[in-house]
Amino acid sequence: MGAKITKYRIFRIFVCLPKRAPSITCKYDAMKYFIRSVKYFFYFAILTTLIILALILIGAVEGSIDSIFEDGYNSLWKIALFFALIAAAYPKFGFVKKQLETSDDWDTIKEKAEAYFSEKPFKIVSKTADSVTFRRRDPLGRLVKMCEDHIILSRTEDGFYMEGLRKDVFLYSAGLSSILAASESAE
């Protein structure tokens, strides 16, 4: 007989990292996931409102909700439901942890990562023995990314992993990997 499928178990499958036992970390990940979903819901709502206001200001549409949307005010609930569905799924696909393998020791990786990110629009926010957290320097960039602009480098047995927004992780991990590979080939 298989395990009983519950809402909590389904939520854990989609939100928590694979192969992780129920723990405080999983509950922390679930709370982080929920907060990100709420942020994105409001982000989509505000962005849509600004676009509609711009259309009204330039005269492309009339200023009445009934004339903008076919069902009038009933359309607002449908739009909100659509935004809620997208916002609920986005954190799962928008944020990643990427494993990067290197033969360098952690101190070398940390040193090169700090030098690499100091050339980019990032600054060090926190540093521990096993991780370094970077955030954007400019407040406008942070605001556009809804303060979800951090990149975390953490040590593992095989090297390190990078965590953050998918686009940023893939972009900056490629750059950092090429710097680490160049230093390995030079040695």
Residues 139 and 180 in one domain: yes
Structural element, H or E, at residue 14: helix 7-15
Residue pLDDT, tens place only, 126-149: 988 888 999 998 888 888 887 788
Whether residue 182 has pLDDT greater than 60: yes
Residue pLDDT, tens place only, 36-49: 899 889 989 999 99
The pTM of this model reads 0.69
Domain boundary among 61, 92, 123: 92
> What pLDDT is attached to residue 184?
66
* Confidence bin at 21 (pLDDT 50/70/90): very low
Identify the CATH number of the domain in which residue 133 sits. 3.30.310
CA angle 123, 160, 32 (to 5 degrees): 65
Whether residue 1 has pLDDT greater than 50: no
Domain that holds residue 110: 102-186
- Section 21-33 average pLDDT: 61
Residue pLDDT, tens place only, 59-114: 888 888 888 888 888 888 999 999 999 999 988 888 888 888 777 788 888 888 88
Domain boundary among 92, 115, 132: 92
Phi, psi values for residue 128, rounded to 5°: -125, 180
The residue whose two tokens read 């490629």 is 174
> What pLDDT is attached to residue 58?
93
Answer yes or no: is 2 within a domain. Answer: no
What's the gap between Cα 58 and its chain centre? 34
Answer yes or no: is 97 within a domain. Answer: no
The 3-state secondary structure of 18-56 reads: CCCCCCHHHHHHHHHHHHHHHHHHHHHHHHHHHHHHHHH
